[in-house]
Amino acid sequence: MNAISNRQEVITFSPSLQTQDVLANYWLRQVTVRLRREICWRWHLQENITFASPASLPPLTNKLTEALDLSRYWEAKCQFYQSDPTAKYLTDKLTVDRPQNYPAVRGSFSWVVDILALDEVSMFLLALGAIVCFDNAASEVIAAVLNDSNATQPTLTLAQKLWEKPEEILTVADPEHPLWRYGLLQTIHDANSAFGLDWQSPLVVPPLIANRLLFPNSSLPQILVPLKQATSFNSIGNRVHLAALRSIAGRLRGDKLRIIPIQASRGAIVTEVVQEISQIARREVVELRENFALWENNTYLKSLVTLCWLTGRDLLISGDRVEAKAGETSRCLLCLQSMPIAIFLGIRDRKELTQIPSDLLLPLVEVPQLSYGDRVNFWQQTLGTTDPIIAASIAECSRRFRYEKGTIQNICTGLQTLDREIDETDLIASCRAELDLDIGELAQIVNPRFTAEELVLPPKQQALFDDIYQAMKSLTAVHYEWGTGKAWNECGISVLFAGLPGTGKTMAAEILATKLELPMYRIDLSQVVNKYIGETEKNLKRLFDAADISDSLLFFDEADALFGRRTEVKDAHDRYANLEISYLLERMERFKGLAILATNRKKDLDEAFLRRLRYIIDFPLPDVRERLKIWQQAIPKKVDASEIDFDFVAKQFPLAGGNIRSIVFNACLQTAGNFKNERSIEPKLTMEQIVICVKREYDKLNRSVSREQFGVYANLVERMNDG
């Protein structure tokens, strides 16, 4: 009797392990007793081993032999359960009456049994999956029963070993069984299995789900944040039409998964719209915190969806993670189509919904971008300042940086940590630091090199250049104080710089970027223009969408390749080429920054496009006076140019500024070797070096130059040719 008592002590359910659910306690005890009874049977099969240590588990045996003995020992096993004192003691424990009229708290084991109308074998399998999370000793016992030290999770094989009618397990081994469809049971899918279920795959009740089933009053995990109810319908709700929100809210109730796509720009706060919908529908919503590592774990994501169903809440998944993991997200959600909850899915583009069946999707809710006035108000509200100086800076930032609420909040949080008064410089710098244009290979950032004093233009062109600068500085006042923004769609400025190479088009663009404190991007036309139909428009859309976030300077060099004349339609290629130009014209009109197009073939540009440009500056070849100034500016400050006859070279050689700078640079390169070992001597350029480089520049341009143009220096050129 003492031996029996010892064995019973080891294999009975620990009284200290109790859940908050009466029915769960019953089935966990059933699982425990059946596991312990199976251990008794395994000890019985070890004929050569005495039961000297009741606390130990039976040793592992040959798995093939065990499999072959299953049918042979089935009757003996049933007799053992009635004849062996310990086994019979455990078998009698299984006959305890199942609890009746138990309280069913939402999300508990009992509640799930009632809602899904689970039969006994389903309840047993659910408890079997949860036992590992609940009892830290269960894993070793399961491994001993399965005769495999690595098999620490329950399987369908284990369920058949423990259940009196093994054939009934087949009813649960169906992917359409509620335990699987509602995510209560999950498994590591076997690629060789048609449905992802087999007898050896571990069955898992995820810890989050097990905790809710056994302890339904426990708090939510920290990754799920409850949304507060909206106190009133704000401007966002009114602008996306309250009637539409009410229509969507009325469709949230149902018997399957509903996905509500919320399309918003980067930095927009989608929670405001979701709060309004949830208030109308009187449903609670939790938001999934940002955790990119989570998207590599579909089991955890499915567990969160199931947890939301168990707790009677809807789920908001917002942010860039949806876009980055759209495929994985779609597959995960499709596994839970039967889940009667709503998922609000934040997206950037409709293409992220292509893998989701249309019957699961409710109408898309588009969160409108903040207007200029909304941005001004939100800046002032978040900064909490009425300083008129800061107010002027806020007005300028609200036009130049078209940020949404989330981004503005982040900037203000950083500014409020400063231990001094915020000024305009702080505000602009913080906004610029937040800017992250995703233009990729379509454009390259340009670091401006020149100052305004280095740009040499005729008076007419200089006046136009100054007008462009003044126009960009006046956009805020004219659009939003004078009221032109509505009629002109808050557009920016588009200009054309036309002229021969080297006349200063790129320099002028860089100087404007410096004076206006704008980031400058050179558009790579080789990446934008694509021979495949429709790809050019996609590249242009991506380019302008990214640049529209903030004022920037887009520089299209050799623009005639992209903005050429529309042709008579003779074939499909002509038709699509004209569509590209039309799309480009439309996007240019809506662009809110400064777009500069540079070309040396102005006549090849489309006339309709030229009419839509705000300014056109023709960069001519400089005259003698302008060339003289360019020559003088081109000489480095540390170089002695006292021997150079600037009046002569400016008068004799009608070259563009770019050619003049090239000549000076080449002369410096050839002269530097003479001063390499004499660093104390000031570098010096002579007329001989300049004249030689002038002749080489003309040769490079394939332009003829007469002997007379070189005047008294003609002999130098002749000696160069003879040499």
The answer to whether residue 31 scores a pLDDT higher than 70 is yes
pLDDT tens digit string along 59-109? 665 555 555 455 556 677 788 888 888 888 888 888 888 888 878 899 999
Q: What is d(CA 49, CA 52) in angstroms, rounded to the nearest whole number?
A: 8
Question: pLDDT (tens digit, 9 = 90+) per residue, 466-524?
Answer: 999 999 999 988 998 898 988 888 888 999 999 999 999 999 999 999 999 888 988 87
The answer, yes or no, to whether residue 237 has pLDDT greater than 50, is: no
- Minimum mean pLDDT range among 24-28, 170-174, 246-250, 673-677: 673-677
Express each pLDDT in 364-408 by its tens digit: 888 888 888 899 999 988 988 777 878 888 988 898 888 988 889
For residues 561 and 352, which has the higher predicted lDDT (pLDDT)? 352
Q: Which two tokens stand for residue 111?
A: 């509640």
**Percent of the chain residues past pLDDT 70, beyond the cut:** 80
**Angle at the Cα of 164 from the Cα atoms of 31 and 12, rounded to 5 degrees:** 30
Residue 42, pLDDT > 70, answer yes
Alpha helical stretches, state H, 46-162 = 63-72, 74-83, 85-93, 109-116, 120-134, 138-145, 156-162
pLDDT at 235: 47
The pLDDT of residue 246 is 80
Q: DSSP characters for 159-213?
A: HHHHSSSGGGGGGTS-TTSHHHHTTSSEE---TTSSSS--SSSPEE--HHHHHHH
> 296: which residues sit within 8 A by CB, 6+ positions away?
none
CATH number belonging to the domain at 224-366, selected among 1.10.630.10, 3.40.50.300, 3.10.20.90, 3.90.940.20:
3.40.50.300
State mean pLDDT over 640-669.
93
Mean pLDDT across the chain: 81
Q: Give the architecture (CATH level 2) of 445-619.
A: 3-Layer(aba) Sandwich (3.40)
- The predicted pLDDT at position 39 comes to 86
> pLDDT per residue over 86-98, tens digit each?
888 888 888 888 8
- Place 672 in a pLDDT band, splitting at 50, 70 and 90: confident
Structure tokens at 24: 């769960």
pLDDT in tens, 521-577: 888 766 666 655 567 777 777 778 778 888 889 998 887 776 665 444 444 444 445
Q: What is the SS3 string spanning 285-339?
A: EEEECCCHHHHHCHHHHHHHHHHHHHHCEEEEECCHHHHHCHHHHHHHHHCCCCC
Q: Which of 578, 575, 587 is nearest to 606 (CA)?
A: 578
Cα–Cα distance between 126 and 118 in angstroms, integer?
A: 10
pLDDT of residue 230: 59
260: Cβ–Cβ under 8 A, 6 or more apart, which residues? 248, 252, 277, 342, 343, 344, 345, 361, 362, 363, 365
What's the distance, CA 352 to chain centroid? 11
Q: How confident is the model at residue 6 (pLDDT cuts 50, 70, 90)?
A: very low
**Backbone φ, ψ for residue 418 (5° rounding):** -70, 145
Q: Band the pLDDT of 288: cuts 50, 70, 90.
A: confident
Question: Nearest CA to 106 among 180, 20, 179, 31?
Answer: 20
Q: What pLDDT was estimated at residue 11?
A: 42
- For residues 197 and 155, give the distance between their C-alpha atoms in angstroms, rounded to a whole number: 10
**Is pLDDT of 708 > 90?**
no
Given a cut of 90, whether residue 588 has pLDDT beyond it is: no
What pLDDT, on a 0 to 100 scale, did the predictor assign at position 53?
47
The model's pLDDT over 624-645, given as tens digits with 9 standing for 90+, comes to 999 999 999 999 988 999 989 9
* Partners of 521 in beta bridges: 445, 554
As a whole number, mean pLDDT of residues 659-683 equals 81
What are the backbone dihedrals phi and psi of residue 689, each rounded to the nearest 5 degrees, phi first? -65, -40
Q: 231 falls in which pLDDT band (50, 70, 90)?
A: low
CA distances from 546 to 438, 479, 536 (A): 6, 22, 16
3-state helix, strand, coil in the chain (%, to 5): 55, 10, 35
- Asked if residue 297 has pLDDT above 60, the reply is yes
H-type alpha helices, 312-444: 320-324, 326-334, 372-383, 388-400, 405-415, 424-434
Lowest mean pLDDT among 65-79, 331-345, 458-472, 593-607: 65-79
Which pLDDT band, with edges at 50, 70 and 90, does 51 fall under?
very low
Distance CA(398)–CA(550), nearest Å, equals 10
CB count within 10 Å of CB 394 equals 20
Tell me, what's the pLDDT at 292? Answer: 55
Q: Domain 624-722 maps to which CATH number in 1.10.8.60, 3.90.470.20, 3.20.19.10, 2.40.160.10?
A: 1.10.8.60
Best-predicted range by mean pLDDT (58-72, 142-156, 282-296):
142-156
The average pLDDT across 43-72 equals: 57
129 close to 172: Cβ distance less than 8 angstroms = no
DSSP β-ladder status, 520-523 and 553-556: parallel
Q: Looking at per-residue confidence, does 337 or 379 come out higher?
A: 379
Residue 127 has pLDDT above 90, yes or no: yes
Quick check: 295 pLDDT over 70? Answer: no
What whole-number percentage of the chain has pLDDT above 90? Answer: 28
H or E element, residue 632: helix 624-634
Residue 5 — very low, low, confident or very high, per pLDDT cuts 50/70/90?
Answer: very low
For residues 562 and 588, is the Cβ–Cβ distance under 8 A? no
Residue 442 confidence (pLDDT) above 60: yes
Rounded to the nearest angstrom, the gap between the alpha carbon of residue 388 and the centroid of all alpha carbons in its chain is: 37
Residue 191 above 50 pLDDT?
no
Question: Where is pLDDT greater, at 126 or 444?
Answer: 126
Phi first, then psi, for residue 558 (nearest 5°) are 50, 50
